[in-house]
Amino acid sequence: MLTLNQMVQYSSTTLDTSFAALSDATRRGVLEELGHGEASITDLAARFGMTLTGMKKHVRLLEEAGFVSTEKVGRVRTCRLGSRRFEDEMAWMEGMRRLWAARFDALDDVLETLKQRENGDGRIS
């Protein structure tokens, strides 16, 4: 129960927004592209073979999550990686990893106990 209570520390709104933004392959691809340098929405749309409107929607979700920032100069909107780093998401995932590791360790203990109790004919005594 203690582990679950620790999970509540993270803002569910922040995590929901982050994981929703990261749930789409195109948006993850955009982050990878922007990892190599900034790009206009037009360039990103062309790279991913989609409409300008579609790419704007993807960029907007990434921007709302703080993973991307944009700047409009004239008619061109340029995108770059945002200042947000994934600390909350990584901390949440680490907490979940620890929770599952503890559960698997407990299962291993149960299986080992059952194995030690097993008698010669394969039945548990």
pLDDT at 6 over 70: no
Which of these CATH numbers, 1.10.10.10, 3.10.450.50, 2.40.70.10, 3.90.25.10, describes 11-81? Answer: 1.10.10.10
pLDDT at 84: 85
Residue 88 clears pLDDT 90, i.e. is over it: no
Residue-wise DSSP of 4-73: HHHHTTS-HHHHHHHHHHHTSHHHHHHHHHHHT--EEHHHHHHHTT--HHHHHHHHHHHHHTTSEEEEEE
- In sequence order, what are the beta bridge partners of 72? 77
| CB neighbour burial string for 76-93, b if at least 16 within 10 angstroms, e if fewer | ebebebbebeeeebeebe
Per-domain boundaries in the chain: 11-81, 86-116
User: Do residues 10 and 86 make contact, with C-beta atoms less than 8 angstroms apart?
Assistant: no
pLDDT band with cut points at 50, 70 and 90 for residue 3: very low
pTM of the entire predicted model: 0.72
pLDDT confidence band for 1 (50 / 70 / 90): very low
Nearest of 63, 81, 54, 85 to residue 17 by alpha carbon:
63
